Amino acid sequence: MKSLLLAAATVAGLATALPAAAQWQKPEDAIKYRQSALTVMANHFGRIGAMAQGKAPFDAKAAAENAVIVSDMAKLPWAAFGPGTDKGMPNRAKAEIWSDAAKFKAASEKMIAEVAKLDAAAKSGNLDAIKAAAGGVGGSCKACHDDFRAEKYSAN
């Protein structure tokens, strides 16, 4: 019984410790995954942005729901930028993502931190707080894009 428990614990430990790259069979799968997470994040951030800019009526409940989605999505893309995922399908990842990995990681962490502030602001239901936090999120998106996103898609 003891060894069975030990075996089960080992399997559980291995499953969580598996390198993230094991989640994708080929670079194309990782690229699609990170692009999808960023696309969904941008869509739901855009709904909050529209409210923050007065282009859509303010709906506190919708803002809070969208902020949860943004905050969930914000954590996902980064593991899919593993080594060798610069090519596989057209994408806009710059070589600096890998050559300046520490700066890229810092940019992703900055964005996650700004998104957490947006989530807190949205939960408060205060439109002014949401506006301020959305500005912070947008700034962190832009900073990372300026440094790490190419203007044009790669050929493959």
**Footprint of ligand ASC (CB under 6 A):** 42, 45-46, 49, 138, 141-142
Smaller CB separation from ligand ASC, 121 or 141 = 141
**Cβ density class 80-97: b for 16+ within 10 Å, e for less:** bbbeebbebbebebbeeb
Minimal distance, residue 3 CB to ligand ASC, in Å: 52
Smaller CB separation from ligand ASC, 50 or 89 = 50
Distance CA 71, CA 135 (A): 15
Query: Which tokens belong to 116?
Result: 């957490």
Minimal distance, residue 128 CB to ligand ASC, in Å: 19
Minimal distance, residue 106 CB to ligand ASC, in Å: 18
Minimal distance, residue 86 CB to ligand ASC, in Å: 20
Smaller CB separation from ligand ASC, 92 or 105 = 92
Distance CA 132, CA 141 (A): 15
Minimal distance, residue 5 CB to ligand ASC, in Å: 47
CB atoms within 10 A of CB 74: 25
Smaller CB separation from ligand ASC, 8 or 42 = 42
Q: Are 137 and 115 in contact (CB under 8 A)?
A: yes
What residues contact 16, with CB distance under 8 A and at least 6 apart? none
Smaller CB separation from ligand ASC, 31 or 70 = 70
Distance CA 113, CA 56 (A): 25
